[in-house]
Chains A and B, each alone.
Chain A
Amino acid sequence: MPFEIKLTIVLSLVLIASLAGWYWKAHTGKVKLIKRGELVDLSKLDAYKNGKKVTRFGKKVTLLQFSTEVCSQCKQTAKAFGELEQQHSDLLHLEVDLTNRLDLAAHFGVLQTPTTLVLGSNGKVLARVGGAPKPQEIQLELEKLDIK
């Protein structure tokens, strides 16, 4: 193979990977509104917070974050949501590890983590975020839900 062709292939590879990276960066973490969202069943989630089983949704909104053990962005997302929880008393952040809960992964169609469901006060799915959420978008979504 001539040198020019080899070089072109190698450089194209770098270009393709860069474009893929930019595309991914631009699209990951966007808030997608869900029209007829289901009602999440808390008892099926088996979610724990500070060692206690969670039996109630947040007063106005619940951020239900799905994670796994091999997800580096989940930790950062959990930290950001934890800070939101500190600021808003009617917001609850729940993190559920799907590593051994493939039933939940299948039920909610989760392929990447973190995936976050924004739930209303009754547990209805209002929006979904695939990937680490963009902070401005979450803020806008919370404002729409009248969370101050």
Chain B
Amino acid sequence: MSNSAPAGIDPRGPRFGATITSFLLLVTVFLGLGSDTQQAAFFFLIFIASLFGIGALLGTARHPYGIIFKAFVRPRLSAPTELEDPRPPQFAQSVGLLVTLIGIVLALLGVEYAVAFAAGAAFIAAFLNAAFAYCLGCQIYLGLKRVGLIKNAA
């Protein structure tokens, strides 16, 4: 298993990204609850979904937050005590992409507060990851795979 694993990343990178993401999602929830700001929330969610898309396809190291982390944050920190497999955060990005996409589709179908709900759900996962090092891949991957919702590894 370990010899086929891709090169490790600094585990603080994805958590740095999750902190920004959870803040943006919280703003989106707030905007999504007001009739005059719903439009803005919708575009916020599209923006966040695009970022999740980059993370899901290219990995968190090539995600804009990953690049910001590497350029500006990591040089100010001590060296990481150990490196992390890039696949778990990439899986979490895929889940974020799915949840935000569902919100976008439901909003387009005219479902009220769809943007706020999707942003709220994604916020909980991103916040847990940022604040508690909660790992979606550890908690839901096997369950989803067992019921046949995932075919291959992320």
Binds B, one of A34-42, A56-64, A65-73, A116-124: A65-73
B11–A6 contact, CB under 8 A?
Answer: no
- CA gap between A136 and B120 in the complex, in Å: 36
Cα distance A16–B82 in the bound complex, in angstroms: 31
A-B contact pairs, 19 of them (CB 8 A): A1-B35, A13-B123, A14-B26, A18-B131, A21-B127, A25-B132, A69-B153, A70-B153, A71-B137, A71-B138, A72-B88, A72-B89, A73-B138, A98-B142, A99-B145, A105-B142, A105-B145, A111-B143, A112-B142
Minimal beta-carbon separation of A27 from chain B (angstroms):
12
- Restricting to B58-107, which residues have a CB under 8 Å from any CB of A? 82, 84-85, 87-91
A6 to B135, CA, bound (A): 29
Among candidates A14, A70, A76, residue contacting B141 with C-beta atoms closer than 8 Å: A70
Is B138's CB under 8 angstroms from A10's CB? no
Q: Using A5-B33, A24-B132 as known contacts, list a sample of 10 further A-B pairs with CB atoms less than 8 Å apart, ordered by residue number in A.
A: A1-B35, A10-B29, A17-B123, A18-B127, A20-B124, A24-B134, A70-B87, A70-B141, A72-B89, A112-B140
Given contacts A68-B142, A69-B153, contact A6 B134 (CB under 8 A): no
B-side residues, CB < 8 A to A, are 1, 5, 11, 26, 29-30, 33-35, 82, 84-85, 87-91, 120, 123-124, 127-128, 131-132, 134-135, 137-143, 145-146, 153-154
The answer to whether A17 touches B143 (Cβ under 8 A) is: no
- Tell whether, in the assembled complex, residue B35 and residue A69 are in contact, meaning their CB atoms are under 8 Å apart: no
Question: Whose C-beta in chain A lies nearest to the C-beta of B25?
Answer: A13
Partner of A112, one of B82, B138, B145, B153: B138
A67–B139 Cα distance when bound, in Å, is 11
Q: Interface size class for chain A?
A: 35 or more
**Is A10 touching B26 in the complex (CB atoms < 8 A)?**
yes
Chain A, Cβ-Cβ closest to B36: A1
Interface residue from A18, A72, A102 paired with B11 (Cβ < 8 Å)? A72
B124 pairs with A114, CB closer than 8 A: no
* A110 contacts chain B at the CB level, 8 A cutoff: yes
